Structure formats: structure tokens, C-alpha cells
Amino acid sequence: MILDGTLNTLLAVQMCVLGPRLILSVREYHAKLVAGSDADTSMNSIVFQEHVHISTSSNV
């Protein structure tokens, strides 16, 4: 009974400690991956080019 209670406590601590650490490590890995890739910067420039407003004459 004592071992069962200890196991339940350790499982709760594991979820509260290791879960957020896993999320943070995945975010850090993704940030490093995005920072090192050239494809992401070219995609950003494409997105910015789409939003360029071209002025047209009013008699069209």
C-alpha cells in the first residue's frame, strides 16, 4: 500500500516536471531548426511581397 502511494506520487511529479521540460526542449529544437534554415527566410520574403499595394489610376 505504501509502495502504491509512492508510485502514484512519483507519477504525478513526473507528469508535472518532465512534461513541461519535454515541451520546452521541443520548442528549443524547433527554434534552432528554423534559425538555421534558409527556406524560412525566403518564405517570409514571399509573404511580404504578396502584401505590396500597387497604386492604380482612378480612371480604370
What is the tens place of the pLDDT at every residue in 6-48? 999 999 988 888 888 888 899 999 988 888 765 544 455 455 5
Residue 57 is predicted with a pLDDT of 66
In a domain, 1, yes or no: yes
In a domain, 7, yes or no: yes
In a domain, 56, yes or no: no
In a domain, 20, yes or no: yes
Predicted TM-score of the model (pTM): 0.43
In a domain, 15, yes or no: yes
Distance CA 60, CA 25 (A): 55
Residue 40 is predicted with a pLDDT of 46
Task: Residue 22: give the domain boundaries.
Answer: 1-35
Cell (9 digits) for 4: 502504491
In a domain, 47, yes or no: no
In a domain, 59, yes or no: no
Domain count within the chain:
1
